Structure 1
Amino acid sequence: MQAPVAYKASYGGAFHGALIVEQDIAMGERMRRILSELAPGRRVVIASSRAEACNLLAALPYDLVLIDMRLPQDDGVSLINHVRQAYPWIESVAMSAADDHQLVDAAIAAGAVGYLLTEADDAELAFLLRSIERGGAPMDSRVARRLLGRIAASAKPSSIAPVVTRPSVARPAPGPLSPRELKVLRLIAQGWSNREIADAVFLSINTVEFHAKSIYRKLSVKSRTQAVHEATQHGLLN
């Protein structure tokens, strides 16, 4: 299935159509209000189930989907997978009331580019969602800190476990990163925001965002968390 022409370049820009998949009516309306205030006049639709969401996705074009990970029968994970495979130009952002490690891991593995905790206040959720327009990943800081900590810990060599040689699947090497991109990548891995990076390396915020998008492209990823994970696998953060 091909992306509608008007939506092929939607990543990194303001969304044109958003779908909220949330079984809690009050929460769905809350997220619709937040998105509507971010982009007045843009279409924001609510679905209460995976089946309804699939019907709406097939009927109208969207470039952003917010998915409740508490949908019954793991429908949240299933829907993220469906969006990634059938509508690869759509950004999927998962959400739940609290930081559940298993839900977060499942969402990221399925292809979500961000994760929101709806216990946050409206201003914080709006701030995170606005980052999509700059090509960022709307990730609650508590979730991001835990994921980055786990990635950093997994990158440390073990002094106890014996070395066992196993056949491995070759991973394609990423495109070469420039010295400036490596510096930006290492600051991203430390949890710095684009604004903090810009101030630290004396660049404009637009230049830092340009470098971040170049890093994502070369690593074949779509979010900060995925970039750090991929860079760790290739030894770029050593």
Structure 2
Amino acid sequence: MSVVCHSSPSMPMLAAGAVKVSYGGAFHGALVVEQDFAMGERMRRILSELAPGRRVVIASTRAEAMNLLAALPYDLVLVDMRLPQNDGVSLIKHVRQAYPGADSVAMSAADDHELVDAAISAGAAGYLLTEADDAELAFLLRSIERGGAPMDSRVARRLLGMIAASARPITIAPVMTRPSAPTGDRPAPGPLSPRELKVLRLIAQGWSNREIAEAVFLSINTVEFHAKSIYRKLSVKSRTQAVHEATQHGLLN
């Protein structure tokens, strides 16, 4: 069993299930699940520099990670998608279902289309390519404290290209469509209002909240309110997941 824990002596560890107190920074407890020791240490160092004094723990297998998650609270879990037997996907699903307050961020050395699609479908809030330098990885992870999704630009560009190719062009004017029947055993999302559908479609085209606000003559706070409502109804935590889920339910057709 290969578990490494680093934390500040002045900051007591929280008991499992304890209420988290906001100390500022990007996270309070981070779990790095990485089978390569050197890469695990690299991610630990980046996270420690990003939020000094926070608890950062390394596990090398899904089994170790499951035990650690059950023992202490974490709000950030980095998952190596190269774990054997598809353990990365199953771990992300477990975190999403059992620990909804934690963000799972998948990572791999390169942009493997199958791994990225599997991670996003499983519930990952972001995807990192570890071939990026430390400064870029730190920049992406820092977006979590603003509620963002740390997504490597190469992965995001490809995903947006796929979404744009599968969705027909739309205008700013509201267009009412009925969601198609859900496929398989995927539960149908809550009904979206016409304005939420409009915001969702603009999100799918890569528009920022500020650009959407200017286009539809709303305040940015109102657009952010609609975006959060969309996330809640689709049971997702990021723009990328929202677009993926909407595509699965035919909301962008």
| Shared fold (TM-score, shorter chain, > 0.5) | yes
Which residue identity is paired with 1:191? Answer: G
- 1:163-182 CA-to-partner distances (Å, cap 9, x unmatched) read xxx9866834433264xx66
CA gap of 1:86–1:234, structure 2 versus 1, over 3 A, is closer
In structure 2, give the amino acid aligned to 1:86. Answer: A
**Quick check: which one's helix share is greater?**
1
Residue of structure 1 in register with 2:122 after alignment: 110
Q: Figure out how many residues of one structure are paired with residues of the other and give that number.
A: 224
Which stretches in structure 1 are left out of the alignment for 5+ residues? Answer: 158-165
Offset, 1:89: 2.1
| 1:236–1:17 CA distance, 2 compared to 1 (3 A) | same
User: Helix, strand or coil for the counterpart of 1:151?
Assistant: helix
- In the aligned structure 2, how far is the partner of 1:88 from the partner of 1:45? 19
Counterpart residue identity of residue 18, structure 1? A
Which of residues 88, 91, 99 is equivalent to 2:103? 91
* Partner of residue 188 from structure 2, selected from 171, 175, 187: 171
1:154 to 146, 166, 171: 166
In structure 2, the partner of 1:224 is 239
| 2:66 equivalent among 49, 54, 59 | 54
- Indicate whether 1:189 and 2:189 are aligned: no
Aligned equivalents of 1:5, 1:210: Cα separation in 2: 28
In structure 2, how many angstroms separate the alpha carbons of the residues matched to 1:233 and 1:97?
27
- The structural deviation recorded for 1:199 is 8.6
Q: Is 1:145 equivalent to 2:145 in the alignment?
A: no
Q: Which moved more, 1:40-49 or 1:203-212?
A: 203-212
Q: Secondary structure at the match of 2:19?
A: helix
Deviations 1:110-142 (A, max 9, x none): 111111111111121112111211222111111
CA distance in 2, matches of 1:4, 1:46: 20
Report if aligned partners of 2:26, 2:50 keep a CA contact under 8 Å in 1. no
Amino acid at match of 1:138: P
Check 1:197–1:172 CA distance in 2 against 1; reply closer, same or farther (3 A cut). Answer: closer
**1:151 to partner: Cα distance:** 2.1
CA distance in 1, matches of 2:182, 2:215: 39
2:54, 2:32 → 1: CA distance? 13
When normalised by structure 2's length, the TM-score is: 0.73
SS in structure 2 of the partner of residue 81 of structure 1: helix
What TM-score comes out, normalization by structure 1 length? 0.77
Deviations 1:33-52 (A, max 9, x none): 11112211110111111111
Q: Deviations over 1:58-109 (max 9, x none)?
A: 1111111000001112111121122223222221110000000111111112
Code of the aligned partner of 2:39: M
Whether the aligned pair in 2 keeps the contact of 1:175 and 1:219 (CA below 8 Å) is no
Q: Which of 19, 42, 48 is the matching residue for 1:36?
A: 48
Q: In percent, how many aligned pairs have the same letter? A: 86
Flag structure 2 segments of 5+ consecutive residues without an equivalent.
1-15, 170-179
Task: Supply the distance in 2 between the matched residues of 1:236 and 1:174 (Cα, whole angstroms).
Answer: 10
Paired amino acid for 1:55: N
